[in-house]
């Protein structure tokens, strides 16, 4: 069987299937992605975290098992298309695996410029990728889209570059002159394009200087979050707690540590692309003062 080799978030990946978006490369294979087929039915599960293994159920398709920070095994029905689970393999499953390896993993997009990185946390559809695309257009490097991985080296939170692409709706991609193939989705009503980024991309970890929480209830201006509010949002938008899993004392400590080092702000989520120029301009002006 052919295998595919990549580097993602600084570690090597050996996969049974192609994983578009990851950077092809040779490194010590620390992570394995395996595909297994089954016939018949499997008992439905909730998200389970036990004995070093997290299980994510895929309705009608099977399940993903993420084990000990070492491997992701997709158990798929014989009739299921692998393409439908690829976004999960490089998204939620990889995020949980990296959490198992001791990283703090955020449900966020991140961009960097010089020695500074910023992250944008928010629910699906809040505008994380579109904001990253807007900042990329004015000279920022996209470090990650949807999964931001932080490593605390020398006591500092470093954002590790990950997937070199943005998932954008067709209109947003066209606005920024980007294009790419459609991403296969379990829910076909949410189809986005996989837009590869080949310019001004940083591959070195960058110090996280600020984090912005995208919220529909935010005021028109950018405001700094109080510690309690910031902690609530961080727990809600980090892995594995965003799936209802506690993550343990170490995850709690990493979140607390991040909040002691990085300011968190609230900004209004992107309601339409028409509002993007104003929002991007406000963010650029705010970032200049950090």
Give the CATH number of domain 104-288; options: 3.40.50.10890, 3.30.460.10, 3.40.50.300, 3.40.50.1100: 3.40.50.300
d(CA 95, CA 239): 7
Q: Containing H/E element for 7?
A: strand 4-8
C-beta neighbour count of 105 within 10 angstroms: 28
User: Are residues 176 and 191 in contact, defined by beta-carbon separation less than 8 angstroms?
Assistant: no
User: In this structure, what DSSP letter does residue 144 have?
Assistant: E
Which residues have C-beta within 8 Å of that of residue 165, sequence separation ≥ 6?
20, 21, 145, 180, 194, 195, 196, 197
d(CA 186, CA 188): 6
Residue positions counted in the chain:
290
For residue 188, pLDDT over 70 is answered with: no
Whole-structure pTM value:
0.90
- How many C-alpha atoms does 170 have within 13 Å on its Cβ side? 5
pLDDT reported for residue 200: 46
pLDDT reported for residue 198: 62
Handedness of CA 249, 105, 55, 69 (dihedral sign): negative
Domain spans, the chain: 4-100, 104-288
Among 96-110, 150-164, 180-194, name the one with the lowest average pLDDT.
180-194
Tokens 């938008």 — which residue?
237
Per residue in 38-86, pLDDT (tens digit) is 766 655 455 666 668 898 887 667 889 999 999 999 988 877 778 878 8
């Amino acid at each position: 069987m052919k295998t595919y080799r990549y580097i993602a978030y600084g570690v090597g990946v050996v996969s049974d299937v192609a994983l578009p978006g990851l950077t092809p490369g040779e490194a010590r294979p620390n992570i394995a992605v395996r595909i297994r087929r089954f016939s018949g039915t499997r008992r439905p599960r909730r998200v389970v975290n036990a004995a070093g293994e997290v299980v994510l159920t895929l309705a009608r398709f099977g399940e993903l098992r993420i084990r000990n920070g070492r491997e992701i095994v997709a158990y798929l029905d014989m009739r299921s298309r692998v393409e439908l689970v690829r976004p999960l393999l490089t998204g939620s499953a990889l995020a949980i695996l990296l959490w198992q390896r001791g990283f703090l993993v955020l449900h966020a997009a991140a961009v960097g410029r010089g020695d500074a990185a910023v992250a944008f946390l928010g629910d699906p559809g809040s505008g994380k990728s579109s904001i990253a695309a807007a900042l990329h257009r004015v000279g920022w490097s996209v470090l990650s889209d949807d999964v931001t991985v932080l490593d605390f080296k020398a006591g500092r939170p470093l954002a590790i570059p990950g997937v070199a692409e943005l998932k954008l709706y067709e209109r947003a991609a066209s606005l920024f002159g980007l294009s790419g193939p459609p991403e296969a989705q379990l829910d076909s009503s949410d189809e986005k394009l996989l837009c590869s980024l080949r310019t001004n991309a940083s591959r070195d970890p960058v110090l996280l200087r600020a984090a912005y929480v995208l919220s529909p209830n935010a005021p028109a201006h950018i405001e700094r979050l109080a510690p309690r509010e910031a902690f609530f949002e961080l727990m809600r938008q980090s892995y594995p707690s965003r799936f209802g899993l506690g993550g343990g004392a170490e995850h709690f400590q990493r979140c607390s540590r991040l909040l002691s080092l990085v300011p968190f702000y609230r900004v209004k989520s992107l309601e339409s692309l028409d509002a993007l120029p104003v929002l991007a301009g406000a963010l650029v002006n705010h970032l200049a003062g950090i």
